[in-house]
Amino acid sequence: MNTPTARQMLKEIKSALGLGEIALAEKLGTSQPTVNRILNGQPDCKGTTLQAIVRLYEQVVSQRAAV
């Protein structure tokens, strides 16, 4: 199984929750420009941002599995 990139996880979270960039940034505790950069393929983000993305992604994936 391939590990998804931060960009792939964000896209999936955004789609699954129907969030815009601002709402997604608020959920992650980061800024909208940071979310935008990641969604547009710029791979650099802080470790804390990546951890927040992974945590939220795991919640979204586990919610899907429960359905």
pTM comes to: 0.87
- CATH code, domain with 21: 1.10.260
**pLDDT tens track for 34-48:** 999 999 998 778 999
Confidence of residue 6 (pLDDT cuts 50, 70, 90): very high
Residue 26 located in a structural domain: yes
Q: Look at residue 22 and tell me whether its pLDDT is greater than 70.
A: yes
Distance CA 47, CA 32 (A): 17
The tokens for 32 are 């909208």
Q: How far is CA 59 from CA 5, 12, 28, 29, 31, in A?
A: 16, 12, 12, 16, 20
Q: How many domains does the chain have?
A: 1
pLDDT at residue 58, rounded to an integer? 94
Could you tell me the residue range of the domain that residue 60 belongs to? 6-66
Residue 1 located in a structural domain: no
Distance CA 33, CA 35 (A): 5
Residue 62 located in a structural domain: yes
